[in-house]
């Protein structure tokens, strides 16, 4: 990632400074811990500074220079985005800092990136890829897959998307620099969530009865009754959307059931 | 309770994965539950509890600052408790799920406290951070990671230590048979999963038809098997 591959139509960033492969490995590794000090005041801010630090050591004068310290101050301030897509910001900010872009431009750019990286990531990953991967694992479970198969299927499928997105983000951020916002128009990011949602909806329909059947270990009137009751409760949950959390309702229902079972 | 230490360490590592490191989602109940089951010698039971919790967990999306249950440590606790009873008792799965849900609730609260703790640490280092101290940035990150690992390990250890005897006592007094117990648990979990699928995906054009078609295929597959 040392060459500036500028896509047609985007303003060319300044020539890319040399950054060693080991530095990129270090930056990537630190990005996996980007939420390590997540808090309600600076959110991801310190994590951005932490991930960028190996790249910022390349600034003239190294870690003892004023340029390094000022960059660390800027990059450790408040930042909010989806943790996987912060890789786009990390790549672009590394490029901007090492290319000597004026601080006020970097700060404006940093602020502008927060919203898009948050909303795109939430739709693509938390409301798309994660439930899709879970449901695929539940289908495998429902078909009678072994524990090892179910676990490996989920971990490999989910993380193919996870690590792929982080690596793409870092690459595109570094190569496009401050022009990286245009990369968020990538069809995968714009239309991907809708496609994944449709696929996940179909997989959910298959997964729920199959998984229920395997957990129960039998089929018959009781199985049909459980699914029917489940459907009624599901409709009720959809109707009171936002006012009752499903997992809390299950907790109360099972606690009451357990109480009756133990007490009678 | 020989398994307390390995279970606590597993819960610590998987609890850390939820938010802090490396977010590979090995903390999802279907993974965490199965691995916890394997730790106490019954991965099949662990997977049953994990799959049930996974259906329920579909409804909770870990959006930024929102408060959500902590499934990593919770799935370890619930699955280890159920797996240690080896499905012999009729209420083992149901009680395992119940203990996991209770732990997840407390776990969600501990995540909020961890974030407040991280903010307090950051405030103490504000001066150093404003001067661009590399040590302060790295130190804060490592302190946050260590705190989360400690949080999840202690949570798992305490929950397992307190809830395991309670679960055994409940199962000893359990009066419903295994089929009824599982039917109730599965019915409730499927309700949450179906509602979650609808809520998450219905905004995509045609998703409700995809869901309906998938449901038909799922039911057809069940009748043909």
For residues A211 and B51, the answer to whether their CB atoms sit within 8 Å is yes
Residues A186 and A80 in one domain: yes
Spell A185-208 as b/e; 16+ CB within 10 A means b: eeeebeebbbebbbbbbbbbbbbb
Structure tokens given for A34: 């980007």
| Parent domain of A56 | 21-217
Q: Which of A200, A217, A234 is the last residue of a domain?
A: A217
The whole-number pLDDT of residue B108 equals: 97
SS3 A194: helix
- The residue out of A180, A202, A217 marking a domain boundary is A217
With respect to residue A16, please indicate whether it lies within any of the assigned structural domains: no
Position A218 scores a pLDDT of: 75
Question: Which residues are registered as beta bridge partners of A43?
Answer: A39, A79
Residue A195 lies in a domain: yes
Query: pLDDT 10s digit of each residue in chain A, 264 long?
Result: 544 444 444 455 667 788 999 999 999 999 999 999 999 999 999 999 999 999 999 999 999 999 999 999 999 999 999 999 999 999 999 999 999 999 999 999 999 998 899 999 999 999 999 999 999 999 999 999 999 999 999 999 999 999 999 999 999 999 999 999 888 888 889 999 999 999 999 999 999 999 999 999 877 888 999 999 999 999 999 999 778 999 999 999 999 999 999 998
Where do the structural domains in chain B lie, given as residue ranges?
4-224
Mean residue pLDDT of chain B comes to 95
Would A3 be classed as within a structural domain? Answer: no
Burial category of A145 from C-beta neighbours within 10 Å (exposed 0-12, middle 13-18, buried 19 and up): middle
Cα–Cα dist B41/B37, whole Å:
6
Q: Testing the interface with B: which of A212, A229, A237, A239 to mutate, by most B Cβ within 10 A?
A: A212
Same domain, A172 and A65: yes
Mean pLDDT for the stretch of residues B81-95:
87
Inter-chain contact B216–A205, Cβ cutoff 8 Å? yes
Statement to judge: residues A164 and A263 lie in one domain: no
Q: Quick one: pLDDT band at residue B1, thresholds 50, 70, 90?
A: confident
Partners of residue A62 in chain B, C-beta under 8 Å? none
Considering the domain architecture, whether residues A25 and A97 belong to the same structural domain is answered as yes
By Cβ distance, the residue of A73, A126, A215 closest to B182 is: A215
Q: Burial, A242: exposed, middle or buried (Cβ in 10 Å; 0-12, 13-18, 19+)?
A: exposed
Given this model, what pLDDT does residue B88 score?
A: 66
Query: Is B61 near chain A, with CB under 8 Å?
Result: yes
Task: Assign A43 to helix, strand or coil.
Answer: strand
Looking at the fold, whether A42 and A109 belong to one and the same domain comes out as yes
Q: Do B214 and A202 touch (CB under 8 A)?
A: yes
Cβ distance of B211 and A202 shorter than 8 Å: yes
The answer on A196 and A97 residing in a single domain is: yes
Whether A120 and A61 share a structural domain: yes
Q: Is residue A70 in a domain?
A: yes
For residue A4, the 8-state DSSP code is -
Which band of pLDDT confidence, cut at 50, 70 and 90, is reported for residue B170?
very high
Instruction: Centre a 10 Å sphere on the Cβ of residue B165 and count the other Cβ atoms it contains.
Output: 11
Same-domain status, A210 and A258: no
Vertex B216, ends B211 and B221: CA angle to 5°?
125
How many structural domains is chain A composed of? 2
For residue B116, pLDDT beyond 70: yes
Question: What distance in Å separates the CA atoms of residue B222 and residue B225, rounded to the nearest whole number?
Answer: 5
Judgement on whether residues A209 and A253 belong to the same structural domain of the protein: no
Which candidate from A41, A49, A197 shows the least CB-CB separation from B207? Answer: A197
Q: What sign for the dihedral angle of Cα A252, A257, A262, B1? A: negative
Chain A residues inside the 8 Å CB shell of B182: 215-217
Q: How far is CA A121 from the centre of its chain?
A: 6
Does A183 lie in the same domain as A74? yes
According to the model, what pLDDT value does residue A224 have?
92
* Whether the predicted pLDDT of B173 surpasses 90: yes
Q: Which helix (H) or strand (E) holds A246?
A: helix A246-263
Give the ipTM: 0.97
Predicted model pTM: 0.95
């Amino acid at each position: 990632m040392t060459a500036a591959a500028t896509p047609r139509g985007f303003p060319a960033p300044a020539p890319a400074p040399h950054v060693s492969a080991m530095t990129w490995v270090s930056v990537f590794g630190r990005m996996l811990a980007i939420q390590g000090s997540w808090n309600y005041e600076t959110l991801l801010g310190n994590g951005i500074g932490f991930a960028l630090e190996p790249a910022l050591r390349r600034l003239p004068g190294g870690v003892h220079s004023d340029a390094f310290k000022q960059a660390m101050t800027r990059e450790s301030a408040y930042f909010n985005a989806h943790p996987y897509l912060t890789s786009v910001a990390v790549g672009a900010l590394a490029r901007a800092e090492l290319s000597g872009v004026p601080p006020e431009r970097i700060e404006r750019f940093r602020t502008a990136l927060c919203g898009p990286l948050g909303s795109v990531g939430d739709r693509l990953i938390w409301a798309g890829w994660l439930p899709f991967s879970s449901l695929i694992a539940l289908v495998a479970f429902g078909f009678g897959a072994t524990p090892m198969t179910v676990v490996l299927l989920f971990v490999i499928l989910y993380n193919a998307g996870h690590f792929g997105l982080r690596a793409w983000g870092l690459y595109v951020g570094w190569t496009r620099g401050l022009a990286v916002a245009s990369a968020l128009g990538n069809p995968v990011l714009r239309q991907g969530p809708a496609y994944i949602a449709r696929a996940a909806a179909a997989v959910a329909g298959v997964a729920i009865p199959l998984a229920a059947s395997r957990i129960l270990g039998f089929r018959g009137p009781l199985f049909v009754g459980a699914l029917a009751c489940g459907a009624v409760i599901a409709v009720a949950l959809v109707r009171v959307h936002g006012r009752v959390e499903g997992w809390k309702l299950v907790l109360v229902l099972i606690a009451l059931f357990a109480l009756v079972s133990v007490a009678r | 309770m020989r398994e307390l230490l390995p279970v606590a360490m597993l819960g610590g590592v998987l609890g850390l994965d939820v938010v802090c490191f490396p977010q590979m989602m090995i903390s999802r109940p279907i993974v965490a539950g199965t691995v916890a089951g394997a730790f106490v010698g019954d991965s099949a039971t662990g997977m049953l509890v994990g799959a049930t919790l996974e259906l329920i967990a579909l409804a909770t999306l870990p959006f930024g600052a929102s408060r959500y249950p902590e499934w990593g440590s919770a799935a370890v606790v619930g699955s280890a408790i159920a797996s240690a009873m080896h499905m012999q008792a009729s209420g083992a799965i149901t009680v395992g799920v119940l203990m996991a849900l209770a732990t997840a609730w407390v776990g969600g609260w501990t995540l909020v406290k961890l974030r407040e703790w991280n903010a307090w640490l950051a405030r103490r280092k504000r001066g150093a951070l404003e001067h661009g101290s590399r040590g302060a940035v790295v130190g804060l990150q490592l302190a946050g990671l260590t705190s989360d690992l400690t949080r999840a390990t202690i949570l798992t250890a305490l929950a397992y230590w307190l809830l395991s005897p309670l679960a055994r006592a409940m199962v000893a007094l359990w009066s419903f048979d295994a089929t009824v117990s599982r039917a109730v648990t599965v019915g409730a979990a499927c309700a949450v999963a179906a509602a979650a699928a609808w809520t998450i995906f219905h905004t995509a054009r045609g998703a409700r038809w995809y869901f309906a078609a998938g449901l038909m295929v799922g039911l057809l597959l069940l009748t043909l098997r």
